[in-house]
Structure 1
Amino acid sequence: SCPPTRDSQSARVQEGYVTWEEKGTLSAEADRGEAEADPPSSSRITGALLDWTATTRDDERPDLSPIQLQASELYEQKQYKSTEQLAHLDLAQQRRGLSTAVTLEILGDCATSLGSHRQAASLYREGAELIHGHYTRTSRRGTSQQACTTSWEAALRVKQARSLSHGTGTLIEATAMLERCFPHSTNRQRQRQPHALASLESCMLLGSLLQRTERKADAVVEFKFALLKNPYALEAIDQLARLGCNEAALLALVDEGLRDLVKSRLSKSKKEVDGMDEDDEPLIPLVEYSKAHANMYGNQMATALEHFNGLSAVYPTDPYIMMHRANILQEMGHVLESERSYRRLCALDQNWMASMDRYAHLLFQLRMSRKNAFMVRQGGFVHYQYSCHGGRERVHDEAYSIEDELAQLAQELLDLDDRRPEGWVALSLHHLTRDDHDKSLAFVDRAIALCQDHSYSHYLRGSILLSSQRPDHAVVSFYRANDLRKDIPSYEGLVESYLQANKFKEAICSAKEAISSAPRDARAITLVGLALAQAPATNQQEGGGKERAIRALRRAMKLDPGAPRPLFALVDLQAQEGSLASCVELLRNALDGGGKSNDVTDSTVNANHVVTWNMAHKAKLAEIYTLMESYDSALECYHTAISLNPQNGLASQGLERLEKIMKGLDPDSSMDEGEQQI
């Protein structure tokens, strides 16, 4: 075909369809009279202008002046003050126009790099308004008065919103501005469509802002748009799963995004698309990745663990997969294996910070569980109640020095970045081991101040308040944690807080909501049993609540035979009814099947959990024998539990109480043995 004429090239420029070669030819004929020009090199436009050369058409902005080119080179060398001063000199001698918008963008980038976010937002806004006014006057297209007219303006609006949200905290202002600049349209099927100039960056930023301003339904829409624009936007998959997008919907979005990506690529080579062939397979297992996240945030932990195990086999050193596996194992109660996963993650990257606050809580949980065995198998992020209120004597063994270990972890995290919440949470747990609730609460409040959307900080704050006998205040923190992420631990905190505050109706409602979130999770069903067991019976339903509680707890035991919490709750419930023989039978059966629990994942974990299982159940069985006045059997069980772990505070306190009873003393008296004998 014949080469395009200059007139046809000019028409293509006005329509926005111009290649680097054609644009170079036009600028050469206009400025230097040369026949053609090469595409501009990346070294000519650098630094502050690199980001918007990739997102804007070159015909939307004027050629850079020599001062602007020099300012870009200075910016690339990170000489922000010099760039700023040079740009201000350029701005002082310019006539107001599109060239001014270029200088304003350079100044805005300098202000962002120097941390002056409010000033940056003002500069970006002024530059975007200049561009919008110019193209609104010259464009013949029907556009909204406030919607972006060019991709250059769109890029500046995204920068303005990022500066507003990051530097000044005006989330609502940033959200409203982006919604005005990128309004949605509707297709013939009345489905919402993104703005023509909306980019992956703008969709992700707007989705994040909507999520932070509690507009979750609108945030889901924006993250869906982002995933359709690029199915490899893994953060969009994570956020959609976190916001409750189910597995089927997530897989459909990924599939549609992949097909659009293939069509876009093949359309450039002018090939017909009849489907995806072998060469169009995803670069990574997106289906497995989506299933893993959908099940994890859907509280289907066993299924999620299977998917992450499959991903781990393909990517054994991926830190995100290791982190999610460790989190799931911790929440499922596989404490020892979870600890090993966290340690492998720390060995892989010593500067890794994500989920290290959960690792700190696991250390707290694991060390305390060696003295109160019930905590190991309770699952979840165990509340600070020292299990069954066992003792916590200071142990000089280095293995039990959780104060030193947590202090070291907190110091390392704070040295890495004291503007993130993980280090302050670890420091809070460190003071929690010293029973210093005031300092612990102060440090977790610092973590929340740094990141108000950090769900684990709210959860830990609720746990501290609950252990401080402040259930009404704990409810607020647990509710916020549950609002950020509807996981079982936050439901556990809500139910326990309501029960401690004698709000039984709210406790039952929260427990039922937990079941709706995770219908086959033994922990959720256990919550219903606990709430029904402690709720007072009504005149119309005398005893009905107890029977329903027993059915719920037995169902939980059937789903997870290795979970001690429903077992111990059922034992306590039947002990209150006077069925001590049934309690002994339940505990004996549990001891016989303790080594076959669902919690066992390998031989090492099996050995540790069998010991832990025996410690907890032997101590509980001794309590029942004490109530039955079978003191010899109780004494034998206590000695067995202490021989397995001399630091078992639950067994030690029970044994001390039993010895007082056998001597005819009051075990609940505050007087010592000599005073009582007198």
Structure 2
Amino acid sequence: TFFVISSATSLRSSSPDIGTVEAHIKFQIAKCQGEIGEKHTALKTIESISSRFKTPSMLVWIGKVYSDCGMERGTLHNYREALRQNSYSIQAALGLLKQHIPPEDINDLCVSSKIARKEDLAWITKLVDAHGNYRASKHKQALSLFTQLEKWFPNHVHILIQMASLHLQLNDRNAAIIMFQKARAADMKNLEGMDIYASLIRYQEDQTRLNSLTKELLDVNDKRPEAWIAVALFCDLKGDRLSAVQFVDKALELDPNHLTAHHFKGQLHLRLQQPEQSVQSYYRAYSIRRDFNAYHGLVNAYLKIPKVGEALRTAKEALSLMPKDARAMLLVGRVLSQTPGDGRKKAIKAYAKALKLDALCYEAAIAFADLHLLQHQQNPHTDLQPAIGVMTQSLQHHNKDFMHCKLGELHTTAMNYPDALTHFHRALSLNSEFEPARQALERLEKLMRGVDPDAEEETEVEDGENGDYLEQDV
């Protein structure tokens, strides 16, 4: 390194372009140092370049390294300078957004540059606004802006990926999958967002398709975290959660700030009954980006410990950040349902507010129904009609097996057996292997014959027929 830099320096006077050559050489050296993990050394190397020879691409790279090192001042300076030199430096603009710089300030910086005319920057200011709305959890506004951008730039992979992710935030998994598939068709070599796409396939429990996607991503680039997150998801689908954690850790070695990796690691720790470690993972995600997934994971982990006070504080913070997001209101309700005193009454009100914010939020409808069922167990005089009404209305938008099953449970508890029978059969017609509906139907048929299913189960346990199973369960 010393020989190369010294040689370039000694030639400085022999050519008018030697300063540019030296800057290029030092930049390549710094990138190599960064690749082997010597980021602070890389910064020293590149900061030795005269500012007049630093190009926008150099400045963006320096800004990212400063960001990785947690050095905010250097990050902001280099991203801003990159935009001053080139208004079209999208990476610099998005980098500033990650540093919580308001979109309007970034757009003002773009427009103030002499490189481009204001009318030519309409698309980049709209892109900044779209990402700004996304980061502020204004998902509908962000999706609208990205949809406009997609009309200007059809089949642009980055825009399609953002639209897919936003559809997922808005709880429309089918639309998200369609957008991810369009992105894959546009560029099979793209890895951006493919870990999120893999998570959707894992949710569908499609082992064959997930295995195929995982192999394709590894073939494209096994030095990117997305590929290893897909491997981790495949292990999780097969039930090997310990291996899944190891592969997520490999993804984090490649990119310590990869948001999806921290989210998934937190989820895995929860499933492994390790809530304290789950809190650590979700808090790391929270420090990178305060989105709903981070808040949701933290609340789940705190409740599992249990730290109900911390869970409530976190849920309320999410609601203050996303006051019009039904999921945030639902999160508050979930914590309230586990607090003593009149917590359950407050939770029911929170679920009702969530449904007012978004009538399509089926999770709020199910939570509303579950809490009514729980109250009915403790007080048989509890009126179940409000819950039946909410579930019936929600079912019009979400014709799913689990929705019919939940409504069937409500009707069973309310002794509306014919209606319960209809919904259990409907659930099984949608998914013949849906075990909760099958078991609920068997229970209902016993009730309709005048047989007490609970008493019968107790008799079977006393006879020892299920003794081995119960022992394994414990």
For 1:160, the equivalent position in structure 2 comes to 29
Where does structure 2 lack aligned partners over 5 or more consecutive residues? 467-474
Paired residue type of 2:373:
A
Q: Aligned match of 2:431 in 645, 652, 660? A: 645
For 2:78, the equivalent position in structure 1 comes to 222
Of Structure 1 and Structure 2, which has the larger fraction of its residues in helix?
2
- Aligned pairs (5 A) from 1:258-297: 260-262=114-116, 281-282=119-120, 285-297=123-135
The reply on whether 1:357 has 2:201 as its aligned counterpart is no
Supply the distance in 2 between the matched residues of 1:318 and 1:176 (Cα, whole angstroms).
37
For 1:339, the equivalent position in structure 2 comes to 177
Please say if residues 125 and 160 of structure 1, whose CA atoms lie closer than 8 Å, have aligned partners that are also in contact: no
Q: C-alpha deviations, 1:215-271, integer Å up to 9, x for none?
A: 3454233222212221101112222223322232222222223xx225xxxxxxxxx
For 2:39, the equivalent position in structure 1 comes to 171
Q: C-alpha deviations, 1:115-150, integer Å up to 9, x for none?
A: xxxxxx444554566579x99xxxxxxxxxxxxx95
Paired residue type of 1:212:
D
Where does structure 1 lack aligned partners over 5 or more consecutive residues? 1-120, 136-148, 183-194, 263-275, 369-401, 598-609
Supply the distance in 2 between the matched residues of 1:173 and 1:570 (Cα, whole angstroms).
56
Supply the distance in 2 between the matched residues of 1:327 and 1:179 (Cα, whole angstroms).
37
The reply on whether 1:564 has 2:356 as its aligned counterpart is no
Q: Give the secondary structure class of the aligned counterpart of 2:120.
A: coil
For 1:434, the equivalent position in structure 2 comes to 238
- Aligned pairs (5 A) from 1:73-472: 121-127=1-7, 153-166=22-35, 168-176=36-44, 178=46, 195-216=51-72, 218-257=74-113, 260-262=114-116, 281-282=119-120, 285-365=123-203, 367-368=204-205, 402-472=206-276
For 1:503, the equivalent position in structure 2 comes to 307
Paired residue type of 1:664:
D
Deviation at 1:515, TM superposition (A): 2.6
For 2:399, the equivalent position in structure 1 comes to 611
Supply the distance in 2 between the matched residues of 1:406 and 1:199 (Cα, whole angstroms).
41
Please say if residues 133 and 142 of structure 2, whose CA atoms lie closer than 8 Å, have aligned partners that are also in contact: yes
For 2:386, the equivalent position in structure 1 comes to 585
Q: C-alpha deviations, 1:44-90, integer Å up to 9, x for none?
A: xxxxxxxxxxxxxxxxxxxxxxxxxxxxxxxxxxxxxxxxxxxxxxx
The structure-2 alpha-carbon separation of the partners of 1:484 and 1:669, relative to structure 1 and needing over 3 Å to count, comes to farther
Greater displacement, 658-667 / 154-163: 658-667
For 2:441, the equivalent position in structure 1 comes to 655
Paired residue type of 1:638:
F
Larger radius of gyration: 1
Q: Aligned match of 2:371 in 570, 573, 584? A: 573
Q: Give the secondary structure class of the aligned counterpart of 1:214.
A: coil
Q: C-alpha deviations, 1:164-202, integer Å up to 9, x for none?
A: 211x202233335545767xxxxxxxxxxxx55543133
For 1:100, the equivalent position in structure 2 comes to none
The structure-2 alpha-carbon separation of the partners of 1:130 and 1:674, relative to structure 1 and needing over 3 Å to count, comes to farther
- Aligned pairs (5 A) from 1:497-536: 497-534=301-338, 536=339
For 2:470, the equivalent position in structure 1 comes to none
Paired residue type of 1:165:
G
Q: Aligned match of 1:664 in 445, 452, 455? A: 452
Q: Give the secondary structure class of the aligned counterpart of 1:290.
A: helix
TM-score (norm 1): 0.62
Supply the distance in 1 between the matched residues of 2:462 and 2:421 (Cα, whole angstroms).
19
Paired residue type of 2:420:
A
Q: Give the secondary structure class of the aligned counterpart of 2:29.
A: helix
Supply the distance in 1 between the matched residues of 2:375 and 2:86 (Cα, whole angstroms).
60
For 1:549, the equivalent position in structure 2 comes to 347
Supply the distance in 1 between the matched residues of 2:257 and 2:236 (Cα, whole angstroms).
22
Please say if residues 424 and 441 of structure 2, whose CA atoms lie closer than 8 Å, have aligned partners that are also in contact: yes
Paired residue type of 2:183:
L
Please say if residues 158 and 202 of structure 1, whose CA atoms lie closer than 8 Å, have aligned partners that are also in contact: yes
Q: Give the secondary structure class of the aligned counterpart of 1:351.
A: coil
Q: Give the secondary structure class of the aligned counterpart of 2:76.
A: helix
The structure-2 alpha-carbon separation of the partners of 1:572 and 1:158, relative to structure 1 and needing over 3 Å to count, comes to same
The structure-2 alpha-carbon separation of the partners of 1:321 and 1:557, relative to structure 1 and needing over 3 Å to count, comes to same
Supply the distance in 2 between the matched residues of 1:248 and 1:668 (Cα, whole angstroms).
65
The reply on whether 1:491 has 2:359 as its aligned counterpart is no
Give the share of equivalent positions with the same residue, in percent.
Answer: 27
The structure-2 alpha-carbon separation of the partners of 1:201 and 1:655, relative to structure 1 and needing over 3 Å to count, comes to same
Supply the distance in 1 between the matched residues of 2:389 and 2:462 (Cα, whole angstroms).
33
Please say if residues 362 and 394 of structure 2, whose CA atoms lie closer than 8 Å, have aligned partners that are also in contact: no
Deviation at 1:358, TM superposition (A): 0.9
For 2:411, the equivalent position in structure 1 comes to 625
Q: Give the secondary structure class of the aligned counterpart of 1:577.
A: helix
Deviation at 1:581, TM superposition (A): 5.4
Please say if residues 475 and 494 of structure 1, whose CA atoms lie closer than 8 Å, have aligned partners that are also in contact: yes
Supply the distance in 1 between the matched residues of 2:326 and 2:253 (Cα, whole angstroms).
34
The structure-2 alpha-carbon separation of the partners of 1:428 and 1:583, relative to structure 1 and needing over 3 Å to count, comes to farther
For 1:88, the equivalent position in structure 2 comes to none
Paired residue type of 2:405:
A
Supply the distance in 2 between the matched residues of 1:670 and 1:331 (Cα, whole angstroms).
47
Please say if residues 622 and 635 of structure 1, whose CA atoms lie closer than 8 Å, have aligned partners that are also in contact: yes
For 2:421, the equivalent position in structure 1 comes to 635
Higher relative contact order (CA 8 A, sep 6+): 1
Q: Give the secondary structure class of the aligned counterpart of 1:639.
A: helix
Greater displacement, 584-593 / 563-572: 584-593
Please say if residues 124 and 159 of structure 1, whose CA atoms lie closer than 8 Å, have aligned partners that are also in contact: no
The structure-2 alpha-carbon separation of the partners of 1:519 and 1:255, relative to structure 1 and needing over 3 Å to count, comes to farther
Deviation at 1:404, TM superposition (A): 1.1
Paired residue type of 2:428:
I
Supply the distance in 1 between the matched residues of 2:383 and 2:110 (Cα, whole angstroms).
53
Deviation at 1:572, TM superposition (A): 2.6
The structure-2 alpha-carbon separation of the partners of 1:317 and 1:670, relative to structure 1 and needing over 3 Å to count, comes to farther
The structure-2 alpha-carbon separation of the partners of 1:127 and 1:417, relative to structure 1 and needing over 3 Å to count, comes to same
The structure-2 alpha-carbon separation of the partners of 1:248 and 1:519, relative to structure 1 and needing over 3 Å to count, comes to farther
Please say if residues 584 and 621 of structure 1, whose CA atoms lie closer than 8 Å, have aligned partners that are also in contact: no
Please say if residues 388 and 410 of structure 2, whose CA atoms lie closer than 8 Å, have aligned partners that are also in contact: no
Supply the distance in 2 between the matched residues of 1:343 and 1:640 (Cα, whole angstroms).
30
TM-score (norm 2): 0.86
